[in-house]
Amino acid sequence: MSGPSTYNPSTGIEKWLDERLPIIRLGYDSFVDFPTPRNLNYWWTFGGILAIFLMIQIVSGIVLAMHYVAHEDYAFESVQRITRDVPFGWLIQSMHANGASFFFVAVYLHMFRGLYYGSYKAPREILWILGVVIYLLMMATGFMGYVLPWGQMSYWGAMVITNLIGALPFVGEAIREWLWGGFSVGQATLNRFFSLHYLLPFVIAAVVGLHIWALHVPGNGNPVGLEVKSKKDTLPFHPYYTVKDGFAIIVYLMIFAVFVFFMPNVLGHADNFIPADPLVTPAHIVPEWYYLPFYAILRAIDFGIGPIDAKLGGVLAMFGAIGILFVLPWLDTSKVRSMRYRPLTRWFFIFFVVAALGLGWCGAKNPDDFVLGIEGFKFIYLAKFLTAYYFGYFIVILPVLGIIEKPKERPASIEAAVLGTDKA
Ligand code: HEM
C-alpha cells in the first residue's frame, strides 16, 4: 500500500474482521484503491500475466504429479500415459509444457520493459533484485522440469548442465555428485529433481509476494519515468487497471490456447520423444529455447586465461550474464529513467535486444556452422561478438552514456504527459 488506507468496512462482519485481521483492508488498499500512474501502457500488463501463469503452472503441475512416476523405468511411459489415457491428461500436460514457454516469453518481455523504462532505478532496486531472484528460480525450476519426462534430451541436457558445475575449482566435483546423488545422472537424480521441481514454484510464489510488496512501497513506475506528484497523476487500480490487465490476460491466453490445442508439441524437441538412453548421445544437445542465449555465452568462451580454463571461463561467463543483472541499478549512472528521453542510449538498447535474440540463435546452432551459409563466418564468431556486446552494454555503455548523454526534455508531470499540456 502507498499512502493512508481508504478502506471503510461497510457491514458489521467486515468491521468485526477488520479489527482482528485486516485482510480485506490489505486487498482493498493494494488492488482496488491503489493509486496507479494514469499513463501505464500495455508493457505494464505482463506482471499480471505472469501471476496468472504462475498459477496455471502450479495447478496443472499438481494434477500431473498425481499421475507421474519418478522412476527411470516408468517416467517416460507415465507421461505418455497421461497424454493418452488420463481423462483430460493431454490438456493438462500440454498446458504445463507450453505454459513454461509462455511464462518465459512473458518474463522476458517484463524484464526488457524494465530495462527500457529504467524500472530498476532507485527507489526500485530491491524490487528489481527480487525479480532477478525469481528469474533464477524459474530457470532452475524449468531445467529440472524438463528432466522429468526422461526423454533423450531430458537425460542429456541434465548431463551437460550438471557436468558444467564440475568445472568449478575445488568444490565442483563434490557439488556435481551431490546433485546427481551418485556418480552419474540416474534414479537418485530424477527423484530429487522431481522433489525440487515440486517445491520451487512455491518458493517463487513467496518471492513474488515480496516482489509485489516491494512494488507497492514506491508504487508503479511508468513510461515517462517521473514519480507521482499529485492525485491527478494517478487512477485507482480498480476498475482502470483490473480491466486493462484483464484484457491483456485474455488476449495472451488466446494465443496460448492456439499452442495448447493446435500445436502442442511445436516448442518441444523431437529427441524427447525417444526414451532416455545413457548409451546413445544425441547428435546435437540443445536446451529449451529460453536458455539458448546463455548456452551461446557458455560456448562462446572457448579459450582459457591464466588459471581459468575454457570450461570454467564459459561457466563463469554464463552465470555472470545473469549475475550482472543484480548490480544493474548501480551500473546505470543516468538520472533519467525512461529511454524515451535518452535517444542515444535507446539505440544501444535496441541493439542489445537484437544481441540477445542473436545469442539465442547462436545457442540453437552448431558453433562450427556458417551464419547464413557465409563461408568462414562461423556461429561461434558471432556468439563471441554478441557476448562481448552483452557485457559491454552493462559494463561500459550504460555507465558512460549515463554521464555523457544529454537527455531530451521531459514533461513536468505524469498528468502533463498524458494531456500533452506541458512541454516544459
Ligand atoms: C513470476 C514472475 C513475476 C511476477 C508474477 C511478477 C509480477 C509483477 C507485477 C504484478 C508487477 C506490477 C505490474 C507490472 O509492472 O507489470 C511487477 C513489476 C515489476 N517487476 Fe515483476 N514479476 C515477475 C518477475 C520479474 C522479473 C524476473 C523481474 C526482473 C528481473 C521483474 C521486475 C519487475 C520490476 C522492475 C517491476 C516494476 C516496474 C515498474 O513499475 O516500473 N519481475 N512484477
Would you say residue 339 lies in a domain?
yes
Would you say residue 3 lies in a domain?
no
124 lines ligand 1 (CB under 6 A): yes
Kindly state the cell numbers that stand for 282: 544425441
Q: In 3D, which of 291, 253, 293 has the Cα closest to residue 269? A: 291
Nearest CA to ligand 1 atom 13: 47
Q: For the full predicted model, state whether its pTM sits above 0.85.
A: yes
Q: Are residues 415 and 362 in the same domain?
A: yes
Expressed in angstroms and rounded, the spacing between residue 8 Cα and the centre of ligand 1 is 29
Single residue among 227, 246, 273 that ends a domain in this structure? 273
Would you say residue 105 lies in a domain?
yes
413 lines ligand 1 (CB under 6 A): no
Would you say residue 6 lies in a domain?
no
Q: Are residues 239 and 193 in the same domain?
A: yes
Q: What total of structural domains would you count in the chain?
A: 2
95 lines ligand 1 (CB under 6 A): no
Nearest CA to ligand 1 atom 1: 50
Here the CATH number for the domain that contains residue 166 is 1.20.810.10
Q: Are residues 265 and 315 in the same domain?
A: no
Q: Are residues 70 and 193 in the same domain?
A: yes
CA distances from 307 to 187, 260, 273, 303, 304 (A): 35, 48, 41, 11, 8
User: What is the Cα gyration radius of the chain?
Assistant: 24
Would you say residue 282 lies in a domain?
no
Which of 56, 110, 338 maximizes ligand 1 atoms within 8 Å of its Cβ, making it the mutation to test the pocket?
110
Would you say residue 130 lies in a domain?
yes
Q: Which domain holds residue 345?
A: 308-424
Cα-Cα-Cα-Cα dihedral of 195, 200, 206, 209, to 10°?
Answer: -150
Expressed in angstroms and rounded, the spacing between residue 228 Cα and the centre of ligand 1 is 19
* pLDDT tens across the length of the chain (424 residues): 567 899 999 999 999 999 999 999 999 999 999 999 999 999 999 999 999 999 999 999 999 999 999 999 999 999 999 999 999 999 999 999 999 999 999 999 999 999 999 999 999 999 999 999 999 999 999 999 999 999 999 999 999 999 999 989 999 999 999 999 999 999 999 999 999 999 999 999 999 999 999 999 999 999 999 999 999 999 999 999 999 999 999 999 999 999 999 999 999 999 999 999 999 999 999 999 999 999 999 999 999 999 999 999 999 999 999 999 999 999 999 999 999 999 999 999 999 999 999 999 999 999 999 999 999 999 999 999 999 999 999 999 999 999 999 999 999 999 999 998 865 4
Would you say residue 194 lies in a domain?
yes
Q: Are residues 327 and 422 in the same domain?
A: yes
Q: In 3D, which of 213, 155, 307 has the Cα closest to residue 2? A: 213
Q: Are residues 100 and 172 in the same domain?
A: yes
